[in-house]
């Protein structure tokens, strides 16, 4: 695992030598590599804008990408980027100092979107939706300015599951965050290399590495967020049946349009019985299970 002191990226300096941590690190790196390969994220010689919030997920993302690059498995240039959105109490020096100490090329951008959100969002409503749109727009701009072909985000498996259920419960659609997509303008990819990685593993990894975590509640705790409610439901299911999250995640990778109800995805009207077959063999008619 490239653990010799003279043969390791600074992001992994001081990594615990326990067997448990080595297994954790190996699992996260393997899962990220699988997602990158499975969803075709790599274009040789590309330049990626790696977005950092200072939370456990983005630190894990940065470390894993550098691990893969260090091992010659990720032939792209990486530029770390933090967007300081002007939230009260944001420790603006933490990430620049950390990235400089780690020798990671980076760009720190200040845009006071927090004031815009507070001004535009009615009292009692949550900030997340507008804040996210403003953040994403600025990240796209920065990516273009830096000559990047992709914006890389730290969303993990649990984020993807929670978004699926939020869309199911509140949006009336079967959809979630895809590991790879093209932005609306059509000029940038959006990648999520941690799509297969569990949130608990990100937390264990970042904590074990003693990365300087910036709290995610700088906007103030807003009780009743839909995502928090969904997370509580998933936590309850996982507690009652460990492994339930992974089973549900596998389901997102095993969709059967013929067994759903969307006529745009499957030609139900065009289904025909196979000539000469009796009623025990329905040919192309999907069998219900």
| Distance of alpha carbon 88 from alpha carbon 81, whole angstroms | 20
| Residue among 46, 33, 114, 113 nearest 76 (CA) | 46
| Distance of alpha carbon 161 from alpha carbon 250, whole angstroms | 10
Note the helical H segments in 12-127.
19-38, 56-70, 94-102, 113-120
Q: Is 128 annotated as a binding residue?
A: yes
What the block records as the tokens of 71 is 């091992």
| Residue among 187, 159, 147, 191 nearest 56 (CA) | 159
| Residue among 112, 84, 108 nearest 96 (CA) | 108
Q: Is 219 annotated as a binding residue?
A: yes
| Chain CA centroid to CA 168, Å | 19
15 secondary structure, DSSP code: -
Helices and strands (DSSP H and E) totals, the chain: 9, 6
What the block records as the tokens of 259 is 């067994």
Note the helical H segments in 170-225.
199-208
CA atoms within 13 A on the CB side of 162: 18
Binding-site residues from annotation for [4Fe-4S] cluster = 128, 131, 219
> Which residues are known binding-site members?
128, 131, 219
């Amino acid at each position: 695992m490239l653990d010799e002191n003279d043969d390791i990226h600074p992001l992994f300096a001081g990594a615990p030598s326990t067997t448990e941590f080595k297994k954790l690190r190996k699992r996260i790196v393997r899962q990220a590599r699988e997602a990158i390969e499975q969803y075709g994220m790599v274009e040789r010689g590309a330049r990626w804008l790696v977005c950092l919030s200072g939370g456990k997920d983005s630190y894990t993302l940065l470390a894993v990408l550098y691990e893969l690059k260090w091992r010659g498995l990720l032939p792209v240039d990486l530029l770390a980027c933090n967007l300081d959105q002007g939230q009260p109490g944001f420790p603006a020096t933490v990430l620049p100092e950390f990235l400089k100490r780690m020798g990671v090329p980076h760009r720190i951008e200040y845009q006071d979107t927090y004031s815009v959100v507070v001004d535009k969002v009615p009292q009692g409503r949550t900030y997340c939706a507008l804040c996210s749109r403003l953040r994403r727009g600025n990240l796209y701009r920065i990516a273009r300015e830096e000559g990047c072909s992709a914006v890389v985000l730290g969303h993990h498996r649990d984020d993807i599951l929670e978004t699926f259920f939020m869309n199911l419960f509140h949006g009336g659609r079967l959809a979630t965050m895809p590991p790879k997509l093209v932005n609306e303008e059509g000029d940038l990819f959006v990648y999520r290399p941690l799509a297969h990685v569990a949130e608990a593993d990100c937390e264990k990894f970042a904590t074990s590495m003693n990365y300087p975590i910036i709290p995610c509640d700088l906007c103030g705790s807003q009780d009743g967020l839909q995502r928090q409610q969904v997370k509580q439901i998933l936590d309850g299911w996982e507690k009652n049946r460990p492994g339930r999250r992974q089973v549900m995640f596998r389901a997102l990778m095993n969709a059967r349009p013929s067994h759903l109800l969307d006529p745009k995805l499957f030609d139900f009207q065009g289904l025909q019985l196979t000539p000469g077959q009796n009623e025990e063999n329905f040919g192309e008619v999907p069998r219900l299970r």
